[in-house]
Amino acid sequence: MLKVGLIGAGFMGAMHANCYKNLEGVELCAIADIRSEKAKELAEGTSAQLFGDGKELIANADLDIIDICLPTCLHAEYTALAMEKVKYVFVEKPVTLTSAESDMLLEKQRETGAFVQVGQVIRFWDEYVKLREIVESGIYGKIVNANFRRISPTPTWGWKDWLRTPELSGGAAQDLHIHDIDYALSLFGKPERLASVRNIVGEKNSYINTIMQYKDFPVTVEGTWFLPGTHPFEATFRVVFEKATVEKTADSFILYTDEGATPISIEKEELAVSGTAAGNISDLGGYYNELKYFTDCAKLGTPVEKATLSDAADSIKFLLEKELMASI
């Protein structure tokens, strides 16, 4: 049984806990949150040991894996400590607040030999996985243009409102836009040229639009979290190929050709749910897929090769450098 310690029992910690409860051969053994009621809530149905500060968990629990779901401003410090303790560390995105912190973690990884996966979950989300297969197959010819969009109501749930404090989260550019930037980089590589604009009025840094010019096609990426609470969260894309267009909307995933519009089916893995959670695995989406991959690596003792620390560090550096270039 793989022993997991979870640090941070807020919004994302709850999602991860649910995934672990549904994964076979995995036991949620320790949970830390400075808000004890949050840790207690997630421990329901498990015999997890409870801790306050994440450092107490790292120092005292007997674990194979540490998963860090803390506010971004704490990622660097706790990830470095976790790497000293266990071989497998998962840390939520964005990996760090600054490029220097990412460099520090890469150095720590060289020292410890720990395997680190970062929660760039889009790389594991079914429609985005399928899109990658389509792009790599070349079946519909060359790409003509691509658009990725992620729009959300203002995130008001964060502990002490850390998400809406740009010094702690990096704002929408770093917290939200990073998903699609990381995915685009993983699919197309670095662009030849780029430009990026952001809002100054409203909640500063809550809207960002980036255009990346590749040799043969442009990619546009739009993100905002300055929508009213009544607006639904939407993550969508449209990729135009020479012979077809693939489009994911909020509730459809369709291949358009001159001959017709065909829904693209996703083959869902048949999952034997034997864990302690009652939740529906399909509701856990890419979060389940990424943690399944991560825990499978840990069970087999193999290196983490997807959404690695190095990948995430490259993406955050790209984003931060791009932001500097975009100082309008």
Ligand X SMILES: NC(=O)c1ccc[n+]([C@@H]2O[C@H](COP(=O)([O-])OP(=O)(O)OC[C@H]3O[C@@H](n4cnc5c(N)ncnc54)[C@H](O)[C@@H]3O)[C@@H](O)[C@H]2O)c1
Binding residues for ligand X, per CB under 6 A? 7-13, 32-35, 38, 53-54, 69-72, 74, 92-93, 119, 121, 157-159, 162, 175
CB-nearer residue toward ligand X: 33 or 311: 33
Query: Minimum distance from CB of 9 to ligand X (Å)?
Result: 5
DSSP state of 124: G
Measured distance CA(184)–CA(191) in Å, rounded = 10
CB-nearer residue toward ligand X: 191 or 206: 206
Measured distance CA(45)–CA(43) in Å, rounded = 6
The residues with which 2 forms a beta bridge, in sequence order, are 26
Measured distance CA(52)–CA(36) in Å, rounded = 6
Residues in the chain, overall count: 328
CB-nearer residue toward ligand X: 42 or 244: 42
CB-nearer residue toward ligand X: 35 or 243: 35
> At what angle are helices 177-188 and 309-325 packed, to 10 degrees?
110
Measured distance CA(74)–CA(78) in Å, rounded = 6
Query: Minimum distance from CB of 95 to ligand X (Å)?
Result: 9
Query: Minimum distance from CB of 34 to ligand X (Å)?
Result: 4
CB-nearer residue toward ligand X: 11 or 141: 11
Measured distance CA(181)–CA(165) in Å, rounded = 21
Instruction: Report which residue's Cβ sits closest to ligand X.
Output: 10
Contacts of 86 (CB under 8 A, 6+ apart): 5, 63, 64, 65, 66, 114
Query: Minimum distance from CB of 139 to ligand X (Å)?
Result: 30
Query: Minimum distance from CB of 67 to ligand X (Å)?
Result: 10
